[in-house]
Structure 1
Amino acid sequence: MAKPSSTSMTMRLVHRYLGFFLVGIMAVYATSGIVLIFRDTDFLKQEHHFEKQLATNISPEDLGQALDLRRLKVEKTEGSIYYFKEGTYDSATGAAAYTLKELPTILEKMTHLHKAKSSEPLFFLNIFFGLSLLFFVISSFWMFMPKTEVFRKGLYFTLGGIVLTLVLLFV
């Protein structure tokens, strides 16, 4: 059996310790990724009731911004009361009452981290994590000697994974 090259040993070493280092964040991304699949349902969400005193006579178009609710749409108006999916707003008194369904705090923080945008400070972590995953993909080919049976079988599994990915992307 041939002795592994220094490149192979370096890749294995970095792969191993980077993997240990990223265990926590990989668990967070895996969990939040699964939770995000169900973001269009009420799965794991809890109801929170809110009552706010706003300015009077806010227009239906500006109500969503005043309540900090994206995509708020006033469904009907009866007198001074605006009805929307989440609750009501009385334009005469400024009283708003509404209910939101939200994930528990820890899951909300995890999904927020998972979806960090470039305008947020955590986006560097997402870039680092993405590059680390890409390194894991590449370095896995240095884990076994190329002439071994395990490596050949690994290439078959790689081909199967690539085909499955292409099918999922294009079908």
Structure 2
Amino acid sequence: MKWSNSVRKWSRIIHRDLSFFFAGMVLIYAISGIVMNHRNTINPNFSITRKEYKITENLPDKAGMNKEKVLTLLEPLGEAANCTKHYFPQADVMKVFLKGGSNLLVNVKTGEAVYESVTRRPLIGAMSRLHYNPGQWWTYFADIFAVGLIIITLSGVIMLKGNKGIIGRGGIELIAGILIPLLFLFFF
């Protein structure tokens, strides 16, 4: 009886301390995991905004387009300093590449323009990068975190006794928590 009480006491201490220590990691992985689960509707790394508008002035064709004219088109967007290069993928369509991944697409015949602004998502992007294992040092910490989660799980399983523990409601919840992922693995 004393041995089992001692084991439960230490499992509570270990469970509590490791839970506090790894709480930040659990939140980072949980939040970025939700975003990554919805990658088809939200880009976790970049925010992309599109602006469609019409240029009213007459534009030169491919032969007449030069760097100075491109820069004047970028000035109203505040992107003149970010121009890297321009080219014509089609006879009447010019594409301008900007630093950071933004771009401008202009139909020089009709004046129709589409500006795509690409900006990094600082917090969510950084969290998502951790999911992709950014380097060897992170591998070591992620492995320690994984071992910590195993210890937290095992200490949680043995912490309670009686109807709320492994032989009661806790055991039913444990089995359900194991069966649900297994069902998804086998049937989906």
- Answer yes or no: same fold by TM over 0.5: yes
- Answering whether residue 147 of structure 2 is matched by residue 131 of structure 1, we say yes
Offset of residue 154 of structure 1? 0.6
1:1-171 to 2 correspondences below 5 Å: 2-3=1-2, 4-42=4-42, 46-47=47-48, 51-53=82-84, 77-78=89-90, 87=103, 99=116, 101=118, 104-117=121-134, 119-145=135-161, 148-151=162-165, 152-171=168-187
Which has more helix, going by share of residues?
2
State percent identity of aligned pairs: 22
Distance 2:95 2:43 in 1: 28
Structure 2 vs 1, CA of residues 105 and 131 (structure 1 numbering), >3 Å: closer, same or farther? Answer: same
Structure 2 vs 1, CA of residues 101 and 127 (structure 1 numbering), >3 Å: closer, same or farther? Answer: farther
Structure 2 vs 1, CA of residues 104 and 82 (structure 1 numbering), >3 Å: closer, same or farther? Answer: closer
Q: Deviations over 1:101-160 (max 9, x none)?
A: 55521111111112215x443222211212111212222122113xx1111211111111
Q: Deviations over 1:67-97 (max 9, x none)?
A: xxxxxxxxx93359679xx8579xxxxxxxx
Which runs of 4 or more aligned residues in structure 1 lie more than 4 Å from their structure 2 counterparts after TM superposition?
A: 48-52, 79-83, 86-89, 100-103
Residue 40 of structure 1 aligns to a residue whose secondary structure is coil
Residue 22 of structure 1 aligns to a residue whose secondary structure is helix
Distance 2:182 2:117 in 1: 38
Provide TM-score, normalisation by structure 1: 0.64
- Matched AA of 1:169: L
Residue 121 of structure 1 aligns to a residue whose secondary structure is helix
Structure 2 vs 1, CA of residues 150 and 9 (structure 1 numbering), >3 Å: closer, same or farther? Answer: same
> How many residues align structurally?
140
The answer as to whether partners of 1:42 and 1:101 remain within 8 angstroms in 2 is no
- Matched AA of 1:112: R
**Please, which runs of 5 or more residues in structure 1 have no aligned partner?**
58-75, 90-97
Distance 2:128 2:139 in 1: 13
- Matched AA of 2:163: E
Distance 1:157 1:105 in 2: 37
The answer as to whether partners of 1:114 and 1:126 remain within 8 angstroms in 2 is no
Question: Match for residue 64 of structure 1?
Answer: none
**Please, which runs of 5 or more residues in structure 2 have no aligned partner?**
50-76, 97-101, 106-114
